Structure 1
């Protein structure tokens, strides 16, 4: 049941999103702006430049060492769908550090009601209020990692060979070897008679733990990963014996709130192309730099999203860009980029090429590859 419960939520949300995309695509096909109607899926991901540390950090949730104090906070989390939705009720923010072996994550979550019920490793932690980390070290949307923690400090960690939307099945048996966490609760857990202030998470993720099936390389100066953070928040009410989730008129728990660092644009964390950027540095004051390839990729994702809708409508993929109402050339900055599509009824590969830059390819499973010249 764990595998089923872990995959059901994103799968249902993916089906609901694809079903509603038809109207958006019909509008976009007649618009000069290729992204019109889908703007939420193409907002620029946020970025964080993580500083190197040589300081010994105590995993206690206090974040009071000097390097932690100097590390900048992210902006406050927003609704998973983005700016069109109300801002979260309670602030959440994150900061990060790294050393030669570890990525350190510190998170501050304001919370007036501290409670947790999931008590075992690899329980479905998002049944509680939780904090979640998603990491794709090679930025290809496949072979990525998810780590969840609740206010008891229990961990749900899993590896995904590919997203659920592409038929991926979470490997719950994967554990992040060497993972360490520390929590600080500002309040009392599972005590509804008082009002709490919040909780702080401190997490040490071994860098070598974040690879399965491919060679591991330590981050170099300027290395970029994709990363995002999510907070699941349930509406609860206090009772004489604890907390209970608030129910709808049908007697089911109200849907959870999903608050994230970099907005996904859709109620689904398993769109790795929508995650933020993490850039590693050893030099103070280093700015984030967005590679040209990352500016090209949205056009490939536009092909991908339109192909999913075309498949839903016609039971096959489009074999030409014209069927998707997309042009063969797009201008990015001062450069003309060639957009090409090779497809059969059941498969496709889209590429984008600009002079002086490697060709980038994306296929029907959402796998992103940079092709060698």
Structure 2
């Protein structure tokens, strides 16, 4: 897996944006198309101004998600409210789900039987898996990599120097999805109007290393009904829009 790290824990002051592009918490997320290059999207704020925003989780550990797409790939961004990000794992494909992460599951063919799982921790460690279901049995293939994936993490601070949280941005090139079994009959890049399915998540362990199992926050945008995030039946629509114009809001 190719992963480019640019200034992990680069400091930035937190600013508050208007809610003009906040998408209603409905059954789908509409991905705005961008003409910006992968470098511009990963390194700059301006391409993200047009992206829809969704938020979930408790206020003290709220998570915001945005996405964009282009002919080159899918871009995802997580803003995590967190006064004390915690991690110990530093190698790609470590089991970072046992610590603190943001996650996205992406189901290309909408079958629920095979989907990509991408996780990022506050140290910019990336763990990517291909998830396969056979009946009620689930297996995760850690040998699968989304080739060409690039990611960037930064620490956000308030003006008084206190920690506000962390931001993770990732570029997922279309060819990287091609090795998924579910991509066999798919067109990449997807055409405008294509619907995939997905869900996004956050794991926060407020007590960190001292007691990582205490008061754990498992937050899913589309709520799960059991003890695992792996519920394809609750995935929501990921819709690839054809223009950068903001359409009418999706009803709740």
Q: TM-score, normalised by structure 1?
A: 0.54
Are residues 202 and 159 of structure 1, via their aligned partners in 2, closer, same or farther at CA, if it must alter by over 3 Å? same
Q: Which residue in the other structure is 2:123 paired with? A: 152
Cα distance in 2, alignment partners of residues 45 and 169 from structure 1: 30
Cα distance in 2, alignment partners of residues 61 and 286 from structure 1: 24
Q: What is the deviation of 1:162?
A: 1.4
The answer to which structure has the higher helix fraction is 1
SS at match of 2:193: coil
Cα distance in 2, alignment partners of residues 63 and 231 from structure 1: 23
Root-mean-square deviation (Å): 2.5
Cα distance in 2, alignment partners of residues 54 and 60 from structure 1: 9
What aligned pairs does 1:133-282 form with structure 2 within 5 A after superposition? 133-162=104-133, 166-187=136-157, 195-211=162-178, 212-213=180-181, 214-218=184-188, 219-236=190-207, 244-246=209-211, 253-254=213-214, 256-282=216-242
Cα distance in 2, alignment partners of residues 110 and 62 from structure 1: 20
Cα distance in 2, alignment partners of residues 112 and 135 from structure 1: 29
Q: Which residue in the other structure is 1:112 paired with? A: 83
Cα distance in 2, alignment partners of residues 118 and 112 from structure 1: 19
Q: What is the deviation of 1:137?
A: 0.8
Matched, 1:48 2:29: yes
Conserved? CA contact 1:129–1:232, under 8 Å = yes
Cα distance in 2, alignment partners of residues 285 and 196 from structure 1: 32
Question: When the two structures are aligned, how many residues end up with a matched partner?
Answer: 219
Deviation per CA, 1:272-315, whole angstroms, max 9, x where unpaired? Answer: 1201211001132445889xxxxxxxxxxxxxxxxxxxxxxxxx
Matched, 1:77 2:56: yes
SS at match of 1:244: helix
Q: Name structure 2 gaps, 5 residues minimum.
A: 1-24
SS at match of 1:174: coil
Q: What is the deviation of 1:222?
A: 1.1
Are residues 77 and 197 of structure 1, via their aligned partners in 2, closer, same or farther at CA, if it must alter by over 3 Å? same
Conserved? CA contact 2:153–2:168, under 8 Å = yes
Are residues 55 and 140 of structure 1, via their aligned partners in 2, closer, same or farther at CA, if it must alter by over 3 Å? same
SS at match of 2:141: coil
Q: TM-score, normalised by structure 2?
A: 0.78
Conserved? CA contact 2:42–2:171, under 8 Å = no
Conserved? CA contact 2:50–2:246, under 8 Å = no
Deviation per CA, 1:317-365, whole angstroms, max 9, x where unpaired? Answer: xxxxxxxxxxxxxxxxxxxxxxxxxxxxxxxxxxxxxxxxxxxxxxxxx
Q: Which residue in the other structure is 2:20 paired with? A: none
Conserved? CA contact 1:59–1:180, under 8 Å = no
Structure number with higher relative contact order (C-alpha < 8 Å, ≥ 6 residues apart):
2
Q: What is the deviation of 1:255?
A: 5.5
Cα distance in 2, alignment partners of residues 121 and 273 from structure 1: 29
Q: Name structure 1 gaps, 5 residues minimum.
A: 1-43, 79-86, 188-193, 237-242, 248-252, 291-373
Are residues 276 and 63 of structure 1, via their aligned partners in 2, closer, same or farther at CA, if it must alter by over 3 Å? farther
